[in-house]
Structure 1
Amino acid sequence: MILDRDQTGQVDAFLRQYRKLTAPQKDELLDHLCCDIEKTMGAGVGFDEAFLRCRERWNESEVKKIHSSTQKRFTMVKLIGILLIGLSTITFFSPIAGTSSEQLPDKTSREMDALTPAEYLEPPSFCPLTDNYELTSDYGHRIHPISKKEVLHRGIDWKAPLGTPVLAAGKGIVLEAGNKEKYGNCIIIVHDEIYQTLYAHLENIDVAVGEEITAGQQIGSVGNSGLSLGTHLHYEVIKNGVPVNPADYLP
């Protein structure tokens, strides 16, 4: 059951009353609420009743709680990013659960310092999947399958069987390894002060925050966690804090 444009517009209007929500926070909540309504409608309930139940579950106190928690986690991750790679701003990171500054080992900064200047200049170019996969969504603007809005698809999606090994695209240090809300089970690797890669919707995570990774090393497996419509890998390349087209870096 998928909401049509008018129904999605009603959900969007419900969220507009919370003026302190940033645009990314509102978009993420919109995805959650639409999924909630669609799940309820899948059980045979009409849209009006499903939307009413959704509003009861996602009342003002719950939205404010999410907003407050989001702000705290965003600040925490931003500070980690600044300490690790010296960027002036880390606007890329979205709210996460399961990784905090307290969990980041002291050795991470020293290991990053150990990377040579030559390695800093080499972008991550190892393909995260080796066989039995199919490209299903390119990088670029598209209509989001849940929110029905035009959004930037920050990476590329490969359909692959559940449990297919996911490999690191290059040498680096694990910055995040845990649940990242709409990304589901997710890994972010810092390769140098320029490049990071992100691997989302995983079934399993086989690495830990602060771990040093080699190119081609298995870091997890393909899954269907987070906001996902089927088993696949969502893969991003981030250059200087901005998502770029991963296809430009694949062999």
Structure 2
Amino acid sequence: MCLKKLFHKWRQREKRWTILLTSGAQSSIRQYDLSKSLFYITFMMLAVSIVVTIVASFWVPKLVVEKESLTGSLREQKQEVEEIEESYRKLEREAASMQESVERFKAFEEELVEMDIDVPIDIENGVSGSGGPRIPANVVDASREELPERMDQLNDELPKLVEDFKETIDQLIRYQEELQETPVHPPTNEGQLTSEYGNRRDPLTGQTSFHSGIDIAASMNTPIYAAADGKVVGAGVEGGYGKTVRINHSETYKTLYAHLNQIHVTVGQEVEQGEKIGGMGTTGRSTGVHLHYEIFRNGVEVDPYMYMTFFD
């Protein structure tokens, strides 16, 4: 009750203003009782609001511009960081790609060693060659800081490496072309060697005679294949040879396949290495089903077995 009395006395002592409002002479008058303290407080709040609004009208646009500028700078910095990271990723990908190329070259060189690329293609004269790409040391296992220098090193090494590789490929292509015309493909994939090249006891007469080829025995119509690319120059019956196929492979090599039961080619026909040309038989002067196989080098019979085992 004391607080209520004090508040009532304060209101009685406080100076108050009366505001009268009317819209015309005949209309009623509205009266508003307003304390002086409340008026000052309201006025001060209104003044502060106006000042804040004026200040904000000047500073807010500037702050917005600064915010947009900072946002743009952050975007640019983020983009630069992403570009730098992408550059490093690209370097790493290029380095990995180059390393992969180097590894392929190494693997290829190992394959050449396994293939014994230096084996003479001219089997009897021993003409041979050597080659293969020079493989640089591993220069890719590096940190990011070392990558540019290592990349430069790889870039310096690779042109020579690629050139050596191309030379090796050219050599292999020539080598393959020569092999295609060289009778190194076995004339049959089945059977057993029953008579070798050279002097032997003739199975029909029992006398010693020179055997100009080799005999391979298997079952009737076992497939017979061309030993190399070439042109058929004979396909028919030839006396004691029975049904025979003759193929010219090059100016150097010719082959003969005798005692066949079937002939699948004709004179003038081009054949490829490994192509089926007939079936094994026992026609002509023969004691059983077998293939008599001869190779001529520069017109002279040579041992077919060393050609058949060329890749062994």
Cα deviation 1:92-115 (Å, max 9, x = unaligned)? xxxxxxxxxxxxxxxxxxxxxxxx
Higher relative contact order (CA 8 A, sep 6+): 1
Q: 1:127 matched to which residue of 2? A: 186
Please state how far the C-alpha of 1:148 moved relative to its aligned partner. 3.0
Q: 1:150 matched to which residue of 2? A: 208
**Residues of 1 paired with 2:205 and 2:189: CA distance?**
32
Aligned residues: 135
- Structure 2 matches for 1:150-229, cutoff 5 A? 150-229=208-287
**Residues of 2 paired with 1:248 and 1:191: CA distance?**
17
Contact 2:204 2:287 in 1 (8 A): no
Please state how far the C-alpha of 1:170 moved relative to its aligned partner. 0.5
Please state how far the C-alpha of 1:145 moved relative to its aligned partner. 1.7
Please state how far the C-alpha of 1:248 moved relative to its aligned partner. 1.1
Instruction: Give 5+ residue unaligned stretches, structure 2.
Output: 1-173
Identity of aligned residues (%): 44
Cα deviation 1:172-202 (Å, max 9, x = unaligned)? 0001000010000000100000100110000
Moved more, 120-129 or 231-240: 120-129
Cα deviation 1:10-32 (Å, max 9, x = unaligned)? xxxxxxxxxxxxxxxxxxxxxxx
**Residues of 2 paired with 1:128 and 1:223: CA distance?**
14
Residue identity in the other structure for 1:192:
S
Instruction: Give 5+ residue unaligned stretches, structure 1.
Output: 1-115
**Residues of 1 paired with 2:208 and 2:221: CA distance?**
31
Larger Rg: 2
Residue identity in the other structure for 1:169:
A
- Structure 2 matches for 1:103-114, cutoff 5 A? none
Cα deviation 1:69-105 (Å, max 9, x = unaligned)? xxxxxxxxxxxxxxxxxxxxxxxxxxxxxxxxxxxxx
Residue identity in the other structure for 2:217:
K
The answer to whether residue 294 in structure 2 is matched with residue 236 in structure 1 is: yes
Please state how far the C-alpha of 1:130 moved relative to its aligned partner. 1.2
**Residues of 1 paired with 2:238 and 2:209: CA distance?**
19
**Residues of 1 paired with 2:177 and 2:205: CA distance?**
40
Return the structure number with greater helix share.
2
Q: 1:46 matched to which residue of 2? A: none
Residue identity in the other structure for 1:213:
V
Residue identity in the other structure for 1:203:
N
**Residues of 2 paired with 1:162 and 1:144: CA distance?**
22
Q: What's the C-alpha RMSD, in Å, of the aligned pairs?
A: 1.8
Residue identity in the other structure for 2:274:
G
Contact 2:245 2:257 in 1 (8 A): yes
Please state how far the C-alpha of 1:233 moved relative to its aligned partner. 0.6
SS of residue matched to 1:247? helix
Contact 1:120 1:191 in 2 (8 A): no
**Residues of 2 paired with 1:199 and 1:167: CA distance?**
9
Please state how far the C-alpha of 1:219 moved relative to its aligned partner. 0.1
Structure 1 residues 203 and 226, CA, compared in 2 at 3 Å: closer, same or farther?
Answer: same
SS of residue matched to 1:235? strand
Please state how far the C-alpha of 1:118 moved relative to its aligned partner. 7.7
